A and B are shown apart, each in its own frame.
Chain A
Amino acid sequence: MPLGNRVRELRAQSGLNQQQLGERVGASRQTISLIERGDYHPSVLLALRIAQVFGAPLEQVFYLTGEDTNEKA
């Protein structure tokens, strides 16, 4: 999985549940859950909105892990 995130951790620190975070960024609770589990990679726009809610730079919320899959192509 090339994209990691700290959404669950930052959400807990902010005292928000998935539904509340979803409402703030315009996504469903289910999508927040998928993002936290690494099963869905959000668009740049959604990632920026999430980072904005936490008041953190994007790269502190989302980060690359392991190899860049583009190198294989």
Chain B
Amino acid sequence: MKKHKTGLKFILFMVVCLALGVAVGVALGAGGDAVAAGFAAAQTFLQVNALWLMIAAEAGLAAWSLAEYAAGRRAALPALAGSEDEELFERADRRYGRGLSAASLLTIIAMVQFGVGVSGFPMGVDRRPTLLVVFLLAGVFGAVALQALFVRATKQLYPEKRGEVLDRRFQQQWYESCDEAERQRIGQAAYFSMLVTGRVMVAVFAVLCLLSLIAPIGVTPILTMGVLWLSMTGSYLLAAGTHKKKAPAEPEQKMDAAETAKAPDES
């Protein structure tokens, strides 16, 4: 009976998706020119203003990250002085986690804005790409410096943690210094991330396909999505197959390359 209900729900879901697709298709057919013009205008806006948007985003995210660091530090100081107040540790953890997220976001946004910016102004034609390179480097180095700051602060709270941000094997070293509960959380976070990313990929893929009907976006975005999707699914299946063959690793054991997850975010 349950199987029957699940099947019906799936069919209903597919019908709703189909109806939505038809509705969007018809709307695009009716107002395709307006949508294409809007898309082109948005693209030009992002390309022309990429530098300023990049500077604003970098400054905002760096300020947010530093504010979280300062708040985390205030909570951590009594904890480091020997206090057993769990709330202090949790508050410091929470603040450091947010600050580290802001630093990670800084790198991603700087790179995306750089890509958008240079796509509109080829090198040699305009001096904006040179400035974009300068601010991209500033953003990336700034984010690495912030990450180093948070890793050092986290190590003060948790002296058993190992790894240096600038070391190529940082994620592996960090993971190896995690205990079973922390590894479980990293695994759960990675699984959640995979589920969300899978859904986002389907949505972005659908949007790109629809966009390609009304604007000359080329095949690169769709091929890029295909490569990302394949690599995510392929690496998951590969890692799942590898782990089926052996018992779960003990914290002291060496981590497999497939298990490498972004560890400091979990602390």
Determine whether the beta carbon of A28 is less than 8 Å from that of B181.
yes
Instruction: Give the shortest distance, in Å, between B83 (CB) and chain A (any CB).
Output: 10
With A28-B158, A30-B89, A30-B158 as contacts: A17 and B180 at CB distance below 8 Å: no
Chain B residues near A30: list those with CB within 8 A: 89, 93, 158, 181-182
Determine whether the beta carbon of A27 is less than 8 Å from that of B181.
yes
Partner of A31, one of B86, B93, B180: B180
Q: A18 near B: Cβ within 8 Å?
A: yes
> Which residues of B does A touch, CB under 8 Å?
84, 86, 89, 93, 158, 160, 178-182, 184, 250-252
The size of the chain A interface, using a CB distance under 8 A, is 18
Determine whether the beta carbon of A27 is less than 8 Å from that of B84.
no
Chain A residues near B252: list those with CB within 8 A: 26
> Mostly helix, strand, loop or mixed at chain A's interface?
helix
Determine whether the beta carbon of A29 is less than 8 Å from that of B179.
no
Instruction: Give the shortest distance, in Å, between A13 (CB) and chain B (any CB).
Output: 16
Known interface pairs A28-B181, A42-B181, A43-B180; 12 further A-B residue pairs with C-beta atoms within 8 A, sorted by A's residue number? A18-B84, A26-B251, A28-B158, A28-B182, A29-B89, A31-B181, A34-B181, A35-B181, A40-B181, A40-B184, A46-B179, A46-B180
Chain B residues near A29: list those with CB within 8 A: 89, 158
Q: A23 near B: Cβ within 8 Å?
A: yes
